[in-house]
Amino acid sequence: MANTETALKDAMTSIEGVIGVALVDYTSGMALGTIGGGKDLDLNVAAAGNTDVVRAKVRTMEMLGLKDEIEDILITLGTQYHLIRLLSGRGKSGLFLYLALDKNRANLAMARHQLRSIEADLEV
Amino acid sequence: MAHEGEVRDELARLRARTADVTAVVAASVDGLVLAADPPVEDAEGIAALTAAALGVGLRLADTTGRGAFRELLVHGESGYVATYAAGIGCVLTVLAGPRVNVGRLHMEARRAGARVAELLDGAAVRLEDS
Angstrom distance (rounded) from CA B72 to CA B79: 14
Phi-psi region of B31 (alpha: psi -120 to 50; beta: other; left: phi over 0): left
Give, for B104, the enclosing helix (H) or strand (E): helix B102-129
B101 contacts in chain A (CB < 8 Å): 28-29, 48, 51-52, 55
Q: B30 with B51: CB under 8 angstroms?
A: yes
CA distance A51 to chain B (A): 7
What digits encode the pLDDT tens for the residues A1-49? 789 999 999 999 999 999 999 999 999 999 999 999 988 899 999 999 9
**Touching check for A52 and chain B: CB below 8 Å?**
yes
The ipTM assigned to this model is 0.71
Question: How many beta-carbon contacts under 8 Å exist across A and B?
Answer: 31
Residue B22 confidence class, pLDDT cut points 50, 70, 90: very high
Query: For residue A123, what pLDDT is reported?
Result: 87
What does the mean pLDDT of chain A come to? Answer: 94
Is 2.60.40.10 the CATH number for B4-123?
no
What does the mean pLDDT of chain B come to? Answer: 90
Phi-psi region of A21 (alpha: psi -120 to 50; beta: other; left: phi over 0): beta
Q: CATH number for the domain including A14?
A: 3.30.450.30
Task: Tell me the domain boundaries of chain B.
Answer: 4-123
Domain with A85 in it: 4-121
Q: Which residue of A has its CA nearest to B100?
A: A28
Residue B130 confidence class, pLDDT cut points 50, 70, 90: very low
Question: How many CA atoms within 13 Å lie on the side-chain side of B47?
Answer: 21
